[in-house]
Amino acid sequence: MRTILATGLSFAATAAMAQTPELTIYTYDSFVTDYGPGPVIEENFEATCGCDLTFEAFGDGAALLSRLRLEGDSTDADIILGLDTNLTAEAADTGLFAPHGIETPALDIPIPWTDPLFLPYDWGYFAFMGDASIEAPTSFRELADSDIQVVIEDPRSSTPGLGLVYWVEAAYGDEAPAIWEALADNILTVTPGWSEAYGLFTEGEADAALSYNTSEAYHLVAEGDDTKVAWPFEEGHYMQVEVAGKLASTDVPELADDFLAFMLTDGFQGPIPETNWMFPVVMPEGGLGEGWQSLVEPETALLYSPEEAQARREEAIETWRTALSQ
């Protein structure tokens, strides 16, 4: 049944590409938009691989993982690109991924990389993006003591929202509930995803929104706008490291390996900063462009290991929910 339908639907395509191997990559929505990295990376990789690369996009990183779990080992995907380290432990638990086989790659990230299944392709720090006209708080405590109104994302439906919960947890440990309670009157509202939060901020509704410190580069570079700045917090910033992994069920394992290797070269890393607005994991030849130099490098990079993130998730979210439900 499936064969008949699939053949019927893609007969023309199959005939034309009988000789061309296909690589299917599942990723998140913003990766594949016209201004995202998808189109240029597809072009760069297809120039060397002699293959047909297809991106399929599903919401955000979490939605991506859910989709993969729904499909299981009958998935069409060869590579999943767009999970972050907060999700990789669960992803590894599915048993659907195969080792990437690349020995301790040389990476320009503030942490050592040892994960055998997943390779990073970009990273950034979570940060509040605020209006440059107001005095920026320098810590969560200072934010809590101010009248500033921020918008955050819900950790139950959004990866930045979850990142913020880990950030507070990693920076404050047992004091996290108290910090959340102190922050409650500074939180204008909680949105389902990054888009709504950031939209409320750019519309002028909120003083700041939880985003990435690289958002500042976007406004400087793409819009020539220096009124929106990332607030450096002295307790350090939680990192987001975005990764890709090869599926064990892939029918083109070598092609998938080629792509993962390509991912750490200029053909992939070059476009990343100004299409995905994150830091590259391997600095491209020309370095970062104008507008990136002014970004403040946090003194402390915070990040839970995938296992720790997985273990802490439920409790951290419950802490957040309880503190903000009062």
- For other proteins, the closer CB: 76 or 234: 76
- The reply on whether position 7 binds other proteins by CB under 8 A is no
Told to check if 222 binds other proteins by CB under 8 A, we report yes
34 forms part of the interface with other proteins (CB under 8 A): yes
**Residue 152 forms beta bridges with which residues?**
190
Q: Does 321 bind other proteins (CB under 8 A)?
A: yes
Using the rule CB under 8 A, which residue among 25, 38, 83, 236 binds other proteins?
A: 38
Distance CA 218, CA 198 (A): 13
User: Toward other proteins, which CB reaches closer, 155 or 236?
Assistant: 155
Residues 137-156 as x/- pattern, contact with other proteins by CB under 8 A: ------------x----x-x
Q: Which of 74, 67, 129, 119 is nearest to 98 (CA)?
A: 119
Sign of CA pseudo-dihedral 103, 62, 320, 125: positive
181 binds other proteins (CB under 8 A): no
Which residue, 108 or 185, has its beta carbon nearer to other proteins?
185
* Residue 35 in contact with other proteins, rule: CB under 8 A: yes
CA–CA dist 40, 86 (Å, integer): 27
Strand residue runs (E) in the chain = 22-27, 52-57, 79-84, 97-98, 118-131, 150-153, 187-191, 208-212, 228-230, 237-247, 279-280, 301-302
Instruction: Name the segment binding other proteins (CB under 8 A); options: 60-68, 95-103, 249-257, 296-304.
Output: 60-68
Q: Is 43 in the site for other proteins (CB under 8 A)?
A: no
Joined together, the tokens standing for residue 214 give 């690289």
Q: Characterize the bridge pairing of strands 52-57 and 301-302.
A: unpaired
Give me the residues paired with residue 211 across strands.
Answer: 127
Q: What angle do CA 224, 229, 233 make, to 5 degrees?
A: 155
Task: Identify which of residues 214 and 269 has a Cβ nearer to other proteins in the complex.
Answer: 214
Within 13 Å and on the Cβ side, how many CA atoms surround 60?
15
Q: Which two tokens stand for residue 65?
A: 């993982």
Q: Per rule CB under 8 A, is residue 224 in the interface with other proteins?
A: no
228 burial (CB, 10 Å; 0-12 / 13-18 / 19+) is buried
Question: Which one of the spans 98-106, 199-207, 232-240, 256-264 is the region binding other proteins (CB under 8 A)?
Answer: 199-207
Does 194 sit near other proteins (CB under 8 A)?
A: yes
Closest CB 104 distance from other proteins, rounded Å: 31
- Say whether residue 184 binds other proteins (CB under 8 A): yes
Among 64-72, 100-108, 244-252, 263-271, the segment contacting other proteins (CB under 8 A): 64-72
Should residue 187 be labelled a site residue for other proteins when binding is judged by CB under 8 A? yes
What is the DSSP secondary structure assignment for residue 285, as one 8-state letter? T
Per-residue tokens: 67:
């989709």
**Alpha-carbon distance 239 to 243, whole Å?**
13
210 binds other proteins (CB under 8 A): no
Q: How far is CA 157 from the centre of its chain?
A: 14
Residue list 259-298, contact with other proteins (CB under 8 A): 277
Task: Compare residues 71 and 257 and give the one whose CB is closer to other proteins.
Answer: 71
Residue 209 or 303 with smaller CB distance to other proteins: 209
Residues that bind other proteins in the complex, under the rule CB under 8 A: 1-2, 5-6, 9-10, 29-30, 32-36, 38, 54-60, 62-63, 65-67, 69-71, 74, 76, 90, 149, 154, 156-157, 184, 187-196, 198-200, 202-206, 215, 218, 222, 277, 318, 320-321, 324-325
